[in-house]
Structures are given as structure tokens and as C-alpha cells.
Structure 1
Amino acid sequence: MQKKKTKIKVLLADDHHMVRAGIRQLLASAKDISVIAEAGDGREAQSLIQKHMPDVAVLDIQMPNASGIEVTRWARAHLPQIGILILTAYDDEPYVKAVLQAGAHGFVLKTAGADDLIQAVRDVHEGKSVLDPSITRKLMSSFFTVTGKKETIALTEREMDVLRLTAKGFTNKAIGVQLQVSNRTVQGHLAHIFAKLQANSRTEAVMRGVSLGLVPKVDE
């Protein structure tokens, strides 16, 4: 008898009730996703995250009491195993960079299709990085110098291997299997990559790597 798959537990936080209702309905249409709690502000989101321990927290950026960015920082510091997906109407570069620096695993616009949102939740749950294609295009140009020339970044051969596998969406564990090294070794390589690329998250490192020609451009 085939074992029944456990649903992905999602917490949804947005200060607009009608928006939450619509997003919840979209996510509920996926058989492998279950919205287990809803929050109307950032403080409530933190409380419910601690109480329900969701697999993925889907957060709006602009919320009373604590923004989605503040909740993300808090979650990364206290509950790093929980996936964070920012779902927002804001695509301004400062917002995007703040989200990436806070450590979110994904950033999707509210204009995204239902299938894109559902897949984003699945990808974040699997440890992959998710970035809306339109945001990717905006960030690409910002990673160039003022003169338009690309910076020279020296990564070791093994760091290049780790960066390329990260760009393909592999988790640390999967990268370790591919390269036949421990999870701790992969984490060490990623720390060096982050420092050299001046990145604060996997997504930011991949985007910078793409802009510098270190890894192939992601499909839009």
C-alpha cells in the first residue's frame, strides 16, 4: 500500500482579509498544500509561526506591527527550518534587496498566476530559491558596475560547482550528494561564496553569479 504524502503546511499573512481569502483559495486548489493558519499583521504572524510551525510562511511585505521583512529576519534567526516566501505587489528594487538580505527563500508578485504561486510554495518547501522573472530582470542590471563592466570575482573550482548546483535549485544535502562531500562542507563553500559575491542569501548569490557570467542565465 502506497504511503499517503504529507501536505505542505502553509501559514498565510496579509493585512487585507479579501486578499488573504483569495490567496487561500488559490493555494487550497492544490491537493498537496494546506493553509493551516492566517495572520492579519506581522506580530500575529510571528505568534502563529511559533504555534503551528508551518513548512512555508507566505508573507506580505507591508503589514502593521511588523513588516514581512521584519518577520523574515525574525524567522531566519529563530526558526531557520521554515521556508519564507514573500508575496507582494511591490517590485521596487529596495524592497527586493531588503527581502533578499533578510534571508527570504522566494519573492513572488501578487500578479503571478495561480500555478506560479503554487509552484513557488512547493519550490521553497524543497529548499529552492524562487524569484519572479520580472524581478530577476531588474536585479540583473543592478549587479553591474557604473561603467558597465563586470567585476572580476575569483571563486575556486569547487565553489563554482556549488554555485552552479545552487542555481539549479539543489538543496545543500543534494549538493553534498552530487559532489560527494558533507553538508557541513557545502555550508562552508556557500559561506565563502556569499562573502566573495557580497550576497546575503542563496537567491542573491545566484543572481549575482548570473550577472557576472559565472552561471548560466535562469529561464525567464
Structure 2
Amino acid sequence: MKVLIADDHETARIGIRKALMTIEDVEQVVDARNGDELIEALEHERFDFLILDVSMPHFDPLITVQSIRDQYPSMFILIVSAFDDDVYVQGLLNAGVHGYHLKDQPLSDVTQAIARILSGETWVSGPLVNKLLRSTNRRSIELSPRQVDIARGLSNSLSNKEIAEELSLSIKTVENHLTRLYRQLNVNSRLEAMAYIHENSQLLGQRGQSIYKKTSSSMPLASGEVSIIVADDNQRYRRELCGIVGRNSPGATIYEAGSWRELYPLVEQVHPRLIFMDIVLGDEDGISHTRKIKQKLHDVKIVLITAYPDREFHRLGIESGALAMIDKKDLDTPTIRQILLDVID
């Protein structure tokens, strides 16, 4: 078994390495001191097990862990950290890690953790168990539209300045919103808030009636408990499309995604009935991702949208499982309403 230890503290790496040497199946141990070295090691060698400290330099834990799980699904991941916040721990477990070990617990427990994980169990250090059980009883939280905007910025690892620029707000206003958001989420730091949001992506949804401002002249659809995702990296277009969907389906819960990194956690947590998805989202194509999403959720309906209609793209999109592919200039209110009628009713 090949093991990669990623920790910026040399004493921690040495201690973990010594513990690993007592495991008969361990053949090779490689060290990484920061996030950059971790990614480089993963790109050059194949590892069976990753032991990871999440507070290293050049490392965004939640986002990177999700990416690692997507790229190396067969590799086991054990977090070894001094950070014991239950929201943060739960966020990482939901991101796909196989265990979480506290650094203040006996180092010999690392070998036990590895054995449990290899046998198919999830390992959590004893002191964390009660915290995690208590966290399952937290009250439900509903965010305002502006809080949703701020929360989405946090989930994308944006700085206060970047959030302010994206929302055309002052940095001070963003800071005030963050203070209220932390209070509402019952967390004490940016890191805890990010973990909570990643764990509870459903917080980022808004009811249709809260999105549109004017009353529609047509009768809104009776959408009930329906979740709809609008995925497009053009924020202005995405908001316009959300507004049309909300106007015609005020009872639905509507989520926004500006990247694949945002989209996949939403798909897994809210199980949408319908996704409007740009065929080009960032640097990747919507056709291959349509296929992946349909493999996970067979019943979801996906409408691919594009500013560059092409007959071959249309054929490939339909073959991948999309309900339709529509030119953005043709995606007006009557068209969206018909799609909602077909999917919801």
C-alpha cells in the first residue's frame, strides 16, 4: 500500500510515518508539506491512502477534497487535524473523506483508523462523536436573497473584496452581512461558515416568489416541492433566467450554479427535478456532465442551453440524456413555461 502524508508540520509527518511503519501492508510513504506539493504528488504517482492535514498553506480543504475524491475515487482519505468544530468535520465527511482523527488523540489510534477505513468503516475520533450527534438536531435555517448571494461567494472561496465587486457592494456592507450570516448559521468563523454551507447546499435555494418582483399576467404553475437549478457562468443571464423561472413557478425552490464545482454538490443534496445548464460552463462541456448527472439521478430533466447552436452538439446533447437543447435567444418566457409544464405537471 502506497501512502501519501500531507502535513506542513515535520514532527507530525515523522510521528505518522512511525505509526505507518507498524502496518505490514505499507510499502511506501511519501511526504507533502503544502497544498501545491500534495497536488503535484497526486499527479505523478498513484496512492492507495492519503493522510491529510487540512490547515496547510496553499490549500482550500473543502473544495480540494471534493476535487481529489472526484479524480481519485478509489483512494482512501483520513483527515488528521487539530480542528474539532463539528460543522467543519461534517462538511469534510460529506465531501467524501473516510475518517477524521484529532491530533490531540493518541498517535497509535492512526493505525486503528486506517484498519477501520480499509475494512469499509468510517473513522471519527471519540471526542467528535457527541458533537456530530448534537449537530444533527440544529434548527432549519432560511436565508434572505442577499444572504444567499453572500453564502454563494463564501462557497466559492471568494474574498470579501471579490464578493463586494461581484455584488456591487462596499466591503463594509459585505462584512456586515457576514456578521449576520455567521450569527444565523451559529458559527464563529469564515471556515466554519464555508463548511456549513458545503454541508447544507440547500440553503442556497430561493423560492420562486422571492426572486421575481412583478406579478405575472399568466397563471403561475402549481409547482409544489420542486427543486430547479439554473447553471450558467454568466451571472446576469443566470439571474434573468432565474427570474423567469421564478415568475412562472413561484412555489419551486430555485438554485444557482456558476461552475461545475457549485453544481455537483447541489445535484447530490437537493435532487433537482429540472436543470437548465449552459453547454459551456467554464472550461468544460455540458454534454459529458449531462451524462454523469443522469447516471446519478435518472429522473432529473436537463435542458441544455447555448449561445452557439450546432446540429452536431444538439445530437450529442440529446444522446447524453438531455431533454432538449435550446438556443439562448429562443429561451423566452413562453418556452420556459412550456418546459415547466412538461416537467412539473
Q: TM-score of the superposition, structure 2-length normalised?
A: 0.38
Partner of 1:109: 102
| TM-aligned CA distance change 1:44 to 1:95, over 3 Å | same
Partner of 2:122: 129
Aligned residues: 143
Pairwise CA distance, 1:51: 2.0
Which residue, 71, 75, 82 being the options, matches 2:68?
75
Contact 2:15/2:107 (<8 A) preserved? no
Partner of 2:84: 91
Which residue, 32, 42, 47 being the options, matches 1:39?
32
Partner of 2:137: 144
Structure 2 counterpart SS, 1:114: coil
Pairwise CA distance, 1:34: 3.8
Structure 2 counterpart SS, 1:33: coil
**Letter of the 2:15 counterpart:** G
Q: How many Å separate the matches in 2 of 1:96 and 1:145?
A: 15
When structure 1 is superposed on structure 2, of 58-67 and 127-136 the one drifting more is 127-136
Q: How many Å separate the matches in 2 of 1:114 and 1:47?
A: 27
**Letter of the 1:78 counterpart:** Q
**Is there any run of 5+ residues in structure 2 with no aligned partner, and where?**
141-267, 271-345
Residue 57, structure 1, aligned to residue 33, structure 2: no
Q: How many Å separate the matches in 2 of 1:143 and 1:119?
A: 26
Q: TM-score of the superposition, structure 1-length normalised?
A: 0.59
| TM-aligned CA distance change 1:140 to 1:64, over 3 Å | same
Pairwise CA distance, 1:143: 0.9
Contact 2:50/2:76 (<8 A) preserved? yes
When structure 1 is superposed on structure 2, of 62-71 and 134-143 the one drifting more is 62-71
Partner of 2:4: 11
Overall identity of the aligned pairs, in %: 31
Q: How many Å separate the matches in 1 of 2:47 and 2:4?
A: 6
Q: Could you give the per-residue CA deviations for residues 22-57 of structure 1, whole angstroms, max 9, x where no partner exists? A: 211121122232442110011211221232211110
**Is there any run of 5+ residues in structure 1 with no aligned partner, and where?**
1-7, 148-193, 197-220
Structure 2 counterpart SS, 1:54: coil
Contact 1:55/1:125 (<8 A) preserved? no
Larger Rg: 2
Between 1 and 2, higher relative CO (CA 8 Å, sep ≥ 6) is seen in 1
Q: How many Å separate the matches in 2 of 1:103 and 1:86?
A: 11
Kindly report the root-mean-square deviation, in angstroms, between the aligned alpha carbons of the 2 structures: 2.2
